[in-house]
Structure 1
Amino acid sequence: MKIVAGGASPLLASRLATLLKTELAKTTYREFPDGELYVKIEGIEEEDVIVVQSINTNNDLVQLLLIFDALTNRAESIVAVIPYMGYARQDKLFSEG
């Protein structure tokens, strides 16, 4: 099992890895000058993976989707831990328009 720390939740991911006695996957996050995000994850082939990422901003959500894309067809299984999920409470109309 490996833990992937999203850019918005590195401390929580590190604590979870310690608690579960497992390793953090080596991850690289980059933002290009045009604002496009880049994600690279190493050493997760055929591993059960836990992704820890809060979604505070739009970029955090896009980063989470890029993490899932990087893990698809490589990880044995993927579990997402999302301690804060922005947009989740927008079940009622805030303002018309």
Structure 2
Amino acid sequence: MRTTLDCARLKPGMRLGADARDRRGRCLLREGTALTDTLIDELRRRDVRRVCIARDETRSEEELAARRQALTRHIRHLFRYLADDPLMDELQRVILDHRMRVL
């Protein structure tokens, strides 16, 4: 979920729920960027008044387990024709590890 906040209410650690843009529409920060004091100051300096912030969604252990299973099935499906290749096995593992960390 996302919510829009005035830059005066931003705090370090918040994550952008959408790209932060200046008045000309230029992208200053990408969606998902974790805000720091420096980045917040820069947004204010560039006269950005409001940004979209990602709100944490609390998921139950059952929901997380289901998402992990679905993700594992999806990654395996993508690599289904690349069996018996050690490099592809390693790539699959790295991608799966990365995706699991961002759940």
Larger strand percent? 1
Q: Which has the larger radius of gyration?
A: 2
TM-score, with structure 2 as normaliser: 0.22
Larger helix percent? 2
TM-score, with structure 1 as normaliser: 0.23
